[in-house]
Each structure stands twice: as structure tokens, then as C-alpha cells.
Amino acid sequence: MNVISRDASNYSYVNARVRSRWAALFGEEEYDKLTRMGPSEIARFMEETEYGPEINALGSRYTGVDLVEYALNRNLARHFEDLLEWSQGTLYDLISRYLRKFDAWNAKTALRGVYSETESTVIEDDFIHAGEFGERLLTRLQECAAVEEVVETLEGTLFGASLQDALDDYEETGSLVPLENAVDRTFYDNLLRGLNATTESGTREFVKFLQAEVDFRNVRNAFRIARSGGEMDPADYYIEGGRLFEANELASLVGNRDELVARLRDSRYGDEVGPALETLESTESLIGFEHALDAALLGYADHLSHVFPLSVCPVLAFVLAKEREVDNIRAIARGREVGLSQEEIERELVML
């Protein structure tokens, strides 16, 4: 832990602000209240919280679930822009690398939207304006008519080359999975490229955090593939950089959930993911399993941010927790809209 940072990173300032915003995240009590409300009540409740400015700004244009949804996306973008605004030096570099994840999200949103022939305004609403993609690129993306066109538009970006490579697979199978996977893999490949984890202070913790994320993503991908029952080889969808599994190993573990759970429990993630693993063993559904994995990752992120208080970890853990909160509120609002019961909605939430 560097008390005097050598690289002009302002860890203490950023972390103090992040901690404060972290404390403002919803807890069990708020979720409990929210699951009992109708969509317009949710919007009113959120007006009293730190989503207030967004709800007020959008309140005249939208109502109900739409209002909640747009306010959530805007709030997310505002928070992440703030992070970049505050940070300096290596810290800025690391956060901006990580926030490219929203470029990946936007690229995937465009692909999915165009694939399912969604209207361009709907696609636009789902973009999160927090990454490197500029307004103009996003506008061009939402106006594309075909998936091939999206790939072409993205040519100049980080994802260009790998999307081109995956295009053949897409044309062969007609499924978006190869393209989406190409986006994810490019993102993770670039995340760690050019970072010297052994010598540079600050990046060490960053790498640790990301290795955990990659590990969890690998597990999730493998299980999805196994569930879908397709002929796809899990090794093709393996993301490099994790510490827990090798590509070939993962394929064999997928068939055997007990072994995988045992493996996770014995790993470095064991202490934090313990409770989540219990859910893992008891639930049969894939969604329950994925939610338990998400919660486990959140727990581990939280642990890392306590072990390395003056590092990039608390910031990244906040990004994860904030995203999770936004997903949760969205799930509640959507769930109430279609009339799911409280228990059903609670099952959809990811909580620590």
C-alpha cells in the first residue's frame, strides 16, 4: 500500500467519494419496500433518493416503468463519468480501461437490437453513455439496418478486427453468440494488455480484481453452454487471464457441478463465496445459479476493497455494486409492471 503515491494517483480522494456513494446504495430494507410498490410508486420513491435529479429531469417526458428505466441508465452514466472526472494518473487509466465495458455493452446492445429488428429509438434508450464511444458513433450504430452493417460501423473501434473474424461464424450459424463473445473477449484481452502487474504499484490490485471477474465469467459461460445443449465447445468461449481454470479443464468441470462447487470453495474465493455456494448447491435453475455467482463476485469484490483500501479495487467494486443495484431496480419495476408476485421478484434480485 502506497501512502505517498508515486504516480499522482489520488486514491484517497476518489475512494472517500466512492465510499460515500457506496453508503447511499439501497439496502435490504429499501428493496423490501420497492418490491411492494407499483411502477409509479417506485418512481416517486426514487425521487426521494439519490436518483432524484434524473427522475425530476425526465419526469415530464416519461411515466411509470419507462421513467424508472431511463433514470436508472442516466444515473449510472452520471456516476461513472464522475469517477473519471475525479481520478488522476494511473487510477484514471485503470478506471477508463474498465469502463470500456460500457463500450462492449453498447456494441452488444446495437448487435442485439439490430438482430431483433428493434426500433432505433428503443436501441438508443438502452445505450449507456459511459464509455469511449462518442454520440456520433452511437447514433450511427442505432441506425444500422443489418448486423453486418453494425460490424462495419464498429470497424475503427477496439472491437473491429475480432468482430470481422466472428462474422463468418455468425453467417454460418445465424446466432449472435459468436459476435457477442468476440466483443467480450476483445474487451477482456485489452483490459490487461500492456499492464505490468509485478512491478507497478496500483496495477497489481487491478489485475487481481479482473482475474476474479474473468474466472466468474468463465464459469458462467461454461454453464450456459452446457445448458443450451449445443455442440459448441466451451474452450472456444474461454476468456484468457483468469487464475482458477484452464481452458480444457473448464470443459470437463461443466459436466459436474458438485466438483465445480468444491473447486470454488477450495479456491482463494472460498471465504467470500461460501454463502453463495450454498445457494448454488441447492438451486436447480440456471438463473438462480447465475445470481448466486453474481452475488459471490460482489462479495469477493467487497473483500478485495477492504484488503486494498488505497487502490483501484474499491472503485471497481463500486462500479459492480452500482450496476447490480440498477439491474435490481429495473427487475423490480419490470416485474411489478407485468404483475409478478413479491416472492418471484425477490428471486430475481442479486443481493449480498
Partner 1 sequence: MLEFIAFVNAIAPLLNDVLLPAELSGNIQIGLAALGVGVAALGAGIAEGGIGAAAVGAIAEDSDFFGIGLLFTVLPETLVILAIVVIFLVQ
What string of DSSP letters covers 201-233? TTHHHHHHHHHHHHHHHHHHHHHHHHHHT-S--
**Residue span binding partner 1 (CB under 8 A) among the ranges 12-20, 96-104, 112-120, 123-131:** 12-20
Q: Minimum distance between the CB of residue 70 and partner 1, rounded to whole angstroms?
A: 24
The rounded distance, in Å, linking the Cα atoms of 62 and 65 is 9
Q: Does 3 bind partner 1 (CB under 8 A)?
A: yes
Q: Does 13 bind partner 1 (CB under 8 A)?
A: yes
Q: Does 345 bind partner 1 (CB under 8 A)?
A: no
Contact string 77-116 vs partner 1 (x = CB under 8 A): ---------x------------------------------
Which DSSP letter does residue 338 get? Answer: T
Quick one: how far is CA 276 from the chain centroid?
Answer: 18
Q: Of these, 6, 8, 16, 28, which contacts partner 1 (CB under 8 A)?
A: 16
Quick one: how far is CA 14 from the chain centroid?
Answer: 21
Which DSSP letter does residue 231 get? Answer: S
**Residue span binding partner 1 (CB under 8 A) among the ranges 2-10, 185-193, 203-211, 317-325:** 2-10
Determine which helix (DSSP H) or strand (DSSP E) holds 288, and give its type and residue range: helix 286-307
Contact string 276-315 vs partner 1 (x = CB under 8 A): ----------------------------------x-----
Q: Which residue's CB is nearer to partner 1, number 70 or number 92?
A: 92
Quick one: how far is CA 171 from the chain centroid?
Answer: 27
φ/ψ of 146, rounded to 5, equals -135, 160
Q: Does 60 bind partner 1 (CB under 8 A)?
A: no
φ/ψ of 193, rounded to 5, equals -70, 135
Q: Looking up cell 476493497, which residue turns up?
A: 305
**Residue span binding partner 1 (CB under 8 A) among the ranges 19-27, 124-132, 226-234, 240-248:** 19-27
Which DSSP letter does residue 166 get? Answer: H
**Residue span binding partner 1 (CB under 8 A) among the ranges 8-16, 97-105, 283-291, 292-300:** 8-16
Which DSSP letter does residue 145 get? Answer: S
**Contact footprint for partner 1 (CB under 8 A):** 3-4, 10, 12-17, 19-21, 86, 310
